[in-house]
């Protein structure tokens, strides 16, 4: 991985875990606490947490337009769990601020409450050694109900898409940062390199 910075939006959620995973992948991670810090990033991770709270914190912190603008300019973004919800254009229930960057409809808390959290072995298309299952951690997880033509599903669980890509944007319903399996983070880092090479 090059010397560029991969930011982790540090408003809520598993920020330290994503930074730890980036370090394990040989990337330079940095907690992003102000919109101006996005300018230093070659990629950005939006971690999980409580999506309504994250949406409000994004608005109050002045991140909403800054994130939209940097995404339009091509900044690769990876959203996990609540981050997936934030990237979507539509949710099936409730009302909250969304970045609206990926053409998909998402169901929040699709698998139930915190007590319904679980792990599952998934086959993820495009990662290294993709025949080897990825042990995914689902915590109050969403799923993707509908996808536009530009959205590519990379992984399914019980018939629902739980990892998808649209160009330089990646969204996962589970928490790869809570495992020791680096393959999905390395996939995102390859997306970052691809974007740099295109530019």
Give me the helices (H) in 12-138, please. Answer: 15-24, 51-60, 63-72, 82-87
Backbone torsions φ then ψ of 78, nearest 5 degrees: -120, 115
Q: Which residues of 66-100 are buried (b: 16+ CB within 10 A; e: fewer)?
A: bbeebbeeebbbbbbbbbbbbbbeebeeeebbbbe
User: 121, 141, 139: which is closest to 131 by C-alpha?
Assistant: 121
Catalytic site residue from 18, 157, 168, 175: 175
50 is catalytic: no
Catalytic site residue from 18, 157, 168, 177: 177
25 is catalytic: no
The residue to which tokens 């599903």 are assigned: 153
Catalytic site residue from 17, 18, 42, 81: 81
175 is catalytic: yes
- Catalytic residues, which ones? 81, 175, 177
């Amino acid at each position: 991985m090059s010397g560029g910075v991969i930011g982790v939006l540090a408003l809520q959620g598993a920020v330290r875990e994503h930074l730890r995973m980036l370090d394990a992948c040989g990337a330079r991670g940095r907690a992003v606490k102000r919109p101006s810090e996005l300018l230093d990033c070659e990629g950005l991770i939006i971690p999980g947490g409580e999506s309504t709270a994250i949406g409000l914190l994004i608005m109050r912190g002045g991140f909403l337009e800054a994130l939209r603008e940097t995404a339009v300019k091509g900044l690769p973004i990876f959203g996990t769990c609540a981050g997936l919800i934030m990237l979507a254009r539509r949710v099936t229930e409730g009302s909250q601020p969304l970045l609206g960057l990926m053409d998909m409809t998402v169901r929040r808390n699709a698998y139930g409450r915190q007590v319904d959290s679980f792990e599952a072995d998934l086959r993820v298309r495009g990662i290294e050694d993709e025949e080897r299952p990825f042990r995914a951690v689902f915590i109050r997880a969403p799923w993707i109900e509908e996808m536009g033509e530009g959205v590519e599903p990379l992984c399914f669980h019980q018939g629902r898409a739980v990892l998808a890509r649209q160009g330089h944007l990646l969204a996962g319903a589970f928490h790869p940062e809570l495992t020791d399996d680096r393959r999905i983070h390395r996939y995102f880092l390859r997306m970052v390199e691809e974007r740099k090479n295109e530019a």
